[in-house]
Structure 1
Amino acid sequence: MWFNSFGFWLFFALVALVYSRLRLAGQNRWLLAASYFFYACFDWRFLSLIIFCTALNYHAGLKIAASQDLRQRKFWLGWSLLISLFVLGVFKYLGFFTREISALLLNFGVLETPWILHILLPAGISFFTFHALSYTIDVYRGHTTVSRNFVEFALFISFFPQLVAGPINRSTLLLPQMGKPRPPCDAQRFREGLYAILTGLFLKIVLADNMAWLASHVFTSDPQSLAGSEVLLGVYAFAFQIYGDFAGYSSIACGTACWLGFDLMGNFRRPYFATSPQDFWQRWHISLSTWLRDYLYIPLGGNRGGKWATYRNLLITMLLGGLWHGAAWTFLVWGGIHGLWLALHRAFSPGGPPPSRPAPLWLTGVKMAVTFHLICLTWLVFRAESFSQAWALLLRLGADWQLTAYAQTTLSLIAFFILPWLLFEAWLERRRDDLALLKVAWFWRALLYLYLVLMMLFFPPPIPAEFIYFHF
């Protein structure tokens, strides 16, 4: 049940209608039932998996909170982490490692036929697993109060707007909202939710899906048949596809939750206006980057052990962040590149307090352009099916720079679909306010909404594409 489908909005209208007529306990039970139905629409067979994950971490949280003995608390925390990560590893990585070991044994002549292990990946397993892990860790640390209401905790894990592709909301933010009356959808909440939903649908339907088929042409073609301009523009197309796809999902999730009275964590903040790798990760997939910072980078030692230990911690964190995205060497290398980039940026950045005067506009523009193109190079590795394909495409960037028919089409479509949105984001960036549009005269807001709706009606994609992060 995709957010950009009519079926979802019929489902959401029914959920919201019944929800508005219930009290707190009834609302929670109704939302939990709706969330399980929503997840079952992807594959009902994995409902037992999310319920098992919920029960495991609910029980572990109770045991951790009930014990004053440090060894017992560590045991129950370790037990919940071990089982949760084991389940994640089996469904997401076992097939990959089996395939790689099989290939290695074939090369040494130990096997005559490869091992083939097909395991269906449950939708959103990385997201709801990280929700559960953050809860038990925060209970152990004393950062969150243990939940003694199973329905409230189960709803925290499976709340349908953020269930399949995030944002990864912490127990400190979302869990308390499950146990107290939520505000009604008044005029202010309706405006904020409408803004998030319309911009999210535009990002998905118009930007992401119209870029998807352009990017697909490059990444499914023989690299030797492509001109350098085609490869570059195809990578640009994928950069905006993955941004529009994931930021659009997150925005719709926040908007629908807002209409139901919940506040979710914002996940994107104009990432392609970043001026450094650190700035990029403060703008891109914020819920994951802060999760990795708080539950992996800082426990590893963060920047407390000297510069070389800091570089090591950055590299380990980003390698595991890359592996979180999927069971493929390309994801691991993508994370490693970002880790090295962060370490190099930290090594060569001047220390001391930030300058009192802002940098010249031209210098900021140069930093944005360099950062964006380095990010695009990492997206090439992320999107490629293999290292050989990524390397072949990279080599083609330096060859045959003729403006082919495909390159002209891609360039014109990027200008038509992307430039107006970038101008809007540049205005938001200048205002330094994510909700700046809600503070201007209603006429300008209505004008933008009209543009978004007309673009969705008159320029739908040739072939709708599934949300990319459903696979993670």
Structure 2
Amino acid sequence: MVFSSTLFLFYFLPAFLLLYYAVPARLKNAVALLASIGFYAWGGLSFLALFLASVVANFVLIRYMDAAVDQGRKRLFLLISIVLNVGMLFYFKYANFFLDNASAMSSFFGGSGLTWEKVVLPIGISFFTFEKLTYTIDVYRGVNKPLKSFWDFMLYIMLFPKMIAGPIVRFHEIAGQLTDRSQFDTIDEKLAGMFRFMVGLGKKVLIANVMAEQADRIFSSPVHELPTAVAWVGALAYTFQIYFDFSGYSDMAVGLGRLMGFQFPENFNSPYVSRSITEFWQRWHITLGRWMRDYLYIPLGGNRVKPSRLYVNLWTVFILSGFWHGAAWNFIAWGAYHGFWLILDRLFLLRLYRRLGALSIVPTFVITVAGWVLFRAETLSGALAFLARMLGQAAPAPDAGWDATPAAVVIPPPDWRFFDTQFWAMLALGAFFAFMNVAPFLERRNLSLYAAHTLSLRRSVALGFGAALLLVLSASYIISNSFNPFIYFRF
């Protein structure tokens, strides 16, 4: 069940909010937990028992870890919990990848290929694995005491607004809110939360979905027949699709959290106005970047090591980040690609960009667009062929080794007549919203739209009207179109 579906918008969410607001404060966690279990079961019922068992096992292990007096026993329970969580992630997300590659290697050397039953990926496993690891490590480090209530712990892991695609909420960020949300239980917070949800819904439905239709068509076309300009349009369409799709979903999650009294961390901050890839990763998927920094990069030595080791650490972290996004070589290449540019930033690019000033947004954006081709293509060879077309070079025909499009699916390449007025309008609108925060004062002003605290009557009316308008426009699109993909649903 995705947030932009009719089932969620017109049935699940209204029913949940009516019940959640109707019950007394002591029962709100129970209602939220039952709703979260139902939400997960709708799309992943076959994995629900396994998921719940892993939550129980983590709770017990962490209680034992916290109670242990001996440091060695604490480390033992920490290690068991980490192995349990990483092991589940490795099996469900990466077993097929390693078996596929082992089979290919066997065939290459003349052996017989492997046969096995493909492992099905549980919904949201990457995100809730990170949150279970966060809880375990934070308790071990003494950042927070473990929750006394198992049900509160389960709610932290399973809270449905953040379950499928984040943001990755670290335990200490909402530890107090799991037991007391009265500080944020105000009309103003709820109104701001509803507005934030509708902004995210509009970004996802009105912009990302339109971009997705054209990006899918272009990336599934025979690459050797694509005009260079059309290849660039496809890359740009996907660039705006993935931003408005993922940031829109994060906005919806943050908005739903505020409707319930939770304050989730921000996950995006106008990443396409970045003046370097270093800055891009401070603005894109912020909660993942912070997680990688605090639980991988700093433990590897952070900035305290000599430069050569620092570069190895950066590359390692971003290769792992790419592998986290997907079990395929093109995702690994995407992570290595960003790690490469981060190293160049530290070597000399940041000094060059400072001389360019605001113009450094242009090369940074081009680097980012090229990276998204690696992310979007079905295979690494397909991505390289697509990039070759973007550079005006001839790409090999399918029988010459390009395998992004299966031979059975041959789609005529689009030409300029295919791009209708709606596409160009949404592309222009997406570019406007993606780059409008180029000036810091505009960024501060636009971010203030999401602030709640105490709203004036004028602002309350404006937010209410804006939310209603976005709901009508988005609902109209959803009802009239069956095309409603969500990129990060598979991560």
TM-score, normalized by the shorter chain, greater than 0.5: yes
Distance 1:20 1:462, change over 3 A: closer
Cα RMSD of the aligned pairs, angstroms, is 2.6
Residue of 386, 390, 394 corresponding to 2:383: 390
Q: Does 1:378 align with 2:359?
A: no
Residues 282, 103 of structure 1: CA spacing in aligned structure 2 closer, same or farther, 3 A cutoff?
same
- What residue identity is the alignment partner of 1:286? I
Letter in 2 for 1:19: Y
CA distance in 2, matches of 1:25, 1:208: 39
Aligned counterpart, 2:448: 436
Q: State the Cα distance separating 1:54 from its structure 2 match.
A: 1.0
**Which position in structure 2 is the counterpart of 1:162?**
162
8 Å CA contact 2:297–2:314 kept in 1: the answer is: yes
Contact 2:240 2:431 in 1 (8 A): no
Give 3-state SS (helix, strand or coil) of 1:435's partner.
helix
* 1:205 pairs with 2:217: no
> Does the alignment pair 1:40 with 2:41?
yes
| Preserved CA contact (<8 Å) 2:99 2:114 | no
CA deviation vs aligned residue, 1:82-138 (integer Å, no higher than 9, x gap): 111111111100011011101100111121x44243111100000001000010001
Moved more, 66-75 or 441-450: 441-450
* % identical equivalent positions: 34
The number of aligned residues is 463
**Cα deviations across residues 378-424 of structure 1 (Å, max 9, x unaligned)?**
00001111122111111111338998334686972444442443465
- Given the superposition, is the C-alpha separation of residues 429 and 13 from structure 1 closer, same or farther in structure 2, using an over 3 Å criterion? farther
Contact 1:168 1:287 survives alignment (8 Å): yes
In structure 2, relative to structure 1, the CA distance for the partners of 1:414 and 1:30 (3 Å cut) is closer
Provide, for residues 33-77 of structure 1, a one-character-per-residue CA deviation record: whole Å limited to 9, x for no partner.
110000001021111122122112211211111112111111000
Q: Which residue of 2 aligns with 1:5?
A: 5
Unaligned segments of structure 1, at least 5 residues: 352-357
User: For the residues of structure 1 that align with 2:5 and 2:423, how far apart are their CA atoms?
Assistant: 29
Partner in structure 2 of residue 354 of structure 1: none
* 1:437 partner amino acid: L
Distance in structure 2 (CA, Å) of the matches to 1:468 and 1:79:
32
Q: TM-score, normalised by structure 2?
A: 0.88
| 1:69 counterpart = 2:70 | yes
Alignment of 1:52-451 (within 5 A): 52-111=53-112, 113-183=113-183, 185-348=185-348, 363-399=356-392, 404-406=416-418, 412-422=424-434, 425-426=437-438, 430-433=442-445, 435-437=447-449, 442=459
Q: 2:382 corresponds to which letter in structure 1?
A: Q
- Alpha carbons 2:4, 2:201 under 8 Å: kept: yes
How many Å apart are 1:7 and its aligned residue? 1.7
Please, which moves more after superposition, 226-235 or 13-22?
Answer: 13-22
Determine if contact 2:211/2:423 at 8 Å carries over to the other structure: no
Aligned partner letter, 1:471: R
Letter in 1 for 2:91: V
Shift of 1:207: 1.1
Q: Quick one: distance in 2 between partners of 1:45 and 1:423?
A: 43
**In the superposition, relative to structure 1, how do residues 450 and 181 fare at CA in structure 2: closer, same or farther (>3 Å)?**
closer
Structure 1 window deviating more from structure 2 (412-421 vs 285-294): it is 412-421
Deviations 1:351-402 (A, max 9, x none): 8xxxxxx979xx4432111111100100000111112211111111133899
Inter-partner Cα distance in structure 1 for 2:388 and 2:271: 27
Q: C-alpha displacement at 1:320, in angstroms?
A: 0.5
Given the superposition, is the C-alpha separation of residues 12 and 416 from structure 1 closer, same or farther in structure 2, using an over 3 Å criterion? Answer: same
Aligned ranges for residues 14-25 of structure 1 at < 5 Å? 14-25=15-26
Contact residue 210 and residue 423 of structure 2 kept, 8 A: no
Q: Residue 456 in 1 paired to residue 468 in 2?
A: no
Partner Cα separation in structure 1 for residue 118 and residue 441 of structure 2: 45
Q: Does 1:28 align with 2:46?
A: no
In structure 2, distance between residues paired with 1:104 and 1:367 = 43
Residue 181 of structure 1 deviates from its aligned partner by 4.2
Change (3 A) 1:427 1:368: closer
SS of equivalent to 1:144: coil
Aligned to 1:468: 487
> By how many angstroms is 1:13 displaced?
1.9
Q: Note closer, same or farther for the CA distance 1:107–1:400 as it changes in structure 2 (3 Å cut).
A: closer
**TM-aligned CA distance change 1:86 to 1:423, over 3 Å:** closer
TM-score by length of 1: 0.91
Task: State the alpha-carbon separation in 2 of the partners of residues 395 and 289 from structure 1.
Answer: 30
Give the C-alpha shift of residue 161 in structure 1.
Answer: 0.4
